[in-house]
Amino acid sequence: MSTQYKTHQEGAKEFNKNPDRVTWHDKALWFVREKRDISAHSIPEWEELREIASQVKAHSLSHLNKYLEQFEENAKANGVHVHWAKDAAEHNQIVHSILEKHKVKNVVKSKSMLTEECGLNPFLNDRGIEVVDTDLGERIVQLANEHPSHIVLPAIHKKKEEVGELFHEHLNTEKGASDPTYLTRAARTHLREKFLNADAAITGVNFAVAETGGFVVCTNEGNVDMGANLAPVHIACMGIEKLIPKVEHLGVFLRLLARSATGQAITTYSSHFHRPAEGKELHIVLVDNGRTEQLGREDFRKSLNCIRCGACMNTCPIYRRSGGHSYTYTIPGPIGAILSPGKDLKKHSSLPFASTLCGSCSDVCPVKIDIHTQLYKWRQLVMKETNYEKSKQVGMKFAGKAMGSPSLFNLMGKVGNIFLKGPRAFIYNGLNAWGIDRELPVPTETFDDWFKKNEKKNDK
């Protein structure tokens, strides 16, 4: 597996040791952000759509019980098996028991961040089941024994030469070949074999419709339509927050999803499943794994609106310059930084600080999650409830006291100025994070002193 950093700072520092790679990574993702902009700006009702989507999600979450029960009832009536998992472990067990019942050895999986979140692959591998990720990007990271660094573009951190190397090793492509078309064709051939021999297919779910008991999965590659339609068993795993009330709401979300994600007007395949094909089985696993807890947190509830488009990653200036692997959670970037503290505040305490609170994430979000506001709120909780940067907390207490006292604050300013006028080596050293690559401002006469001197003149 790829290195797991303890804090985002640590990962970001490492990533920035190679400035050319930062440039490349930043440009690749900015390109996607620009495509998103063009696409969004071609829809005059874009902001209205975002508002409707946000309200539909808020409504669905406020009636989640009703919709879950309605969905289950309709899905069962459609001949679908419905399972409930309270956490990752139960999810994995449910999936495994279905596979075991059918004596499944080979599974093809299409992109599902939920199964990634639950650690399904290693769980099944340990039990002798081969799981092949069929999304090209996911297959690349799987072969490289890494995690996705982005939820829509899992291998965005990899250069084509690195993919060429990997495919040469695993798929016998020509050594040194790095042409994307050539490599994609090789993967197509390799994965066709897997699709044709799979005993079961696992997919994620983008949207589940309560009134019909069906669900929609969106892909560009067609891996869902290959996998789920060829294998005798189809297991769809979904977080309980994926529910929307009616079919008409699919119109809203399908218009927003791909435009936000990649700038496409819609994904190539928007596949709707309601009933298994004759002689086959269709299962749905409804997973909680911390979602009801998040639902109970008023300040952070809205994070469950997320439709996993990845737009907040593409726009985030910190994500683009630190890479997905610098984050300590499966879902990186701004959305990951507000979802993860709810799972483990201590482990992910650095993530809410991996931001300048610039707010771009909230403005690109198609379901209007107030991401940067939630980052701010998680910061307050991290400092209150964990030992994260304890020394900073002491400093802040002292500074806060000083700011309550104009005379003390004035004195500190004067001392500070004297310090800044001191010898260079005294100011620019390892203790001064600002000064590593930046000059400090040069103090002159303060405005306060100037004003007092010229008060009479100013009061004229």
Partner 1 sequence: MTSREKILSAIEGINLPSKELPITPIFEGLSEDKHAFFFEMLNTLGVEVIVSDNDDQLKDIIKEKQQDGKVYSSIPDLGADDLTVNKDEMANLNLSVIEGQLGVAENGAIWVNGEDLKHRSLTAIASHLLIVLPYHKIVWNMHEAYTYIKPQDHGYGVFISGPSKTADIEQSLVKGAHGAKSLIVYIQK
Partner 2 sequence: MKIGLFIPCYVNQFYPEVGKATLQLLQKYGEVGYPSGQTCCGQPMANAGCEKDGVDALKVFYDNFKSYDYVVGPSASCVLHIREHGEKLYPNMKPILDKVFDLTEFLFDVVNEENLIGSFPHKVAIHKSCHGLRGMRLGQCSERVTCNPSKQDELIKQVQNVTLVQPQRADECCGFGGTFSVAQPDVSVRMGKDRINDYIQSGAEYITSGDMSCLMHLDGIIQRQKLPIKVIHLAEILASNSTLASNEKQHHVDAI
Minimum distance, C-beta of residue 1 to partner 2, in the bound complex (Å): 24
**Contact in structure between 160 and 221 (CB atoms under 8 Å):** no
**Nearer Cβ to partner 2, position 210 or 383?**
383
Half-sphere exposure of 323 (CA within 13 A, CB side): 29
**Nearer Cβ to partner 2, position 232 or 317?**
317
User: Does residue 81 belong to the site contacting partner 1 (CB under 8 A)?
Assistant: no
Taking CB under 8 A as the binding criterion, the range among 45-53, 121-129, 169-177, 381-389 that sits at the site for partner 1 is: 45-53
Q: Which of 274, 321, 343, 347 binds partner 1 (CB under 8 A)?
A: 274
269-273 and 214-219 beta bridge pairing: antiparallel
Residues 107 and 121: their CA atoms lie apart, in Å, by: 10
Name the token pair of 289. 């794994």
User: Does residue 413 belong to the site contacting partner 1 (CB under 8 A)?
Assistant: no
**Nearer Cβ to partner 1, position 72 or 329?**
72
Name the token pair of 454. 């010229």
Q: Coil, strand, or helix at residue 83?
A: strand
**Nearer Cβ to partner 1, position 10 or 299?**
299
DSSP 251: H
Half-sphere exposure of 18 (CA within 13 A, CB side): 11
Name the token pair of 452. 């007092």
Residues 209 and 447: their CA atoms lie apart, in Å, by: 62
| 169 contact, one of partner 1, partner 2, none, CB 5-8 Å limit per kind | none
Q: Which of 5, 71, 123, 273 binds partner 1 (CB under 8 A)?
A: 273
| 19 contact, one of partner 2, partner 1, none, CB 5-8 Å limit per kind | partner 2
The whole-angstrom distance between residue 105's C-alpha and the CA centroid of its chain comes to 30
User: Does residue 137 belong to the site contacting partner 1 (CB under 8 A)?
Assistant: yes
Neighbouring residues of 226: CB distance < 8 A, sequence distance ≥ 6: 108, 134, 192, 195
Residues of span 1-30 touching partner 1 by CB under 8 A: 28
User: Does residue 337 belong to the site contacting partner 1 (CB under 8 A)?
Assistant: no
Residues 281 and 235: their CA atoms lie apart, in Å, by: 8
User: Does residue 84 belong to the site contacting partner 1 (CB under 8 A)?
Assistant: yes
Amino acid identity of 4? Q
Map tokens 């399908």 to a residue: 254
User: Does residue 155 belong to the site contacting partner 1 (CB under 8 A)?
Assistant: yes
User: Does residue 65 belong to the site contacting partner 1 (CB under 8 A)?
Assistant: yes
- Three-state SS annotation for 428-448: CCCCCCHHHCCCCCCCCCCHH
Minimum distance, C-beta of residue 88 to partner 1, in the bound complex (Å): 12
**Nearer Cβ to partner 2, position 279 or 404?**
404
Taking CB under 8 A as the binding criterion, the range among 121-129, 206-214, 432-440, 449-457 that sits at the site for partner 1 is: 206-214
Residues 127 and 76: their CA atoms lie apart, in Å, by: 29
User: Does residue 105 belong to the site contacting partner 1 (CB under 8 A)?
Assistant: no
User: Does residue 434 belong to the site contacting partner 1 (CB under 8 A)?
Assistant: no
User: Does residue 245 belong to the site contacting partner 1 (CB under 8 A)?
Assistant: yes
Q: Which of 23, 184, 380, 458 binds partner 1 (CB under 8 A)?
A: 184
| 337 contact, one of partner 2, partner 1, none, CB 5-8 Å limit per kind | none
Rg over alpha carbons for the chain, rounded to the nearest Å, is: 26
User: Does residue 170 belong to the site contacting partner 1 (CB under 8 A)?
Assistant: no
**Contact in structure between 99 and 130 (CB atoms under 8 Å):** no
User: Does residue 107 belong to the site contacting partner 1 (CB under 8 A)?
Assistant: no
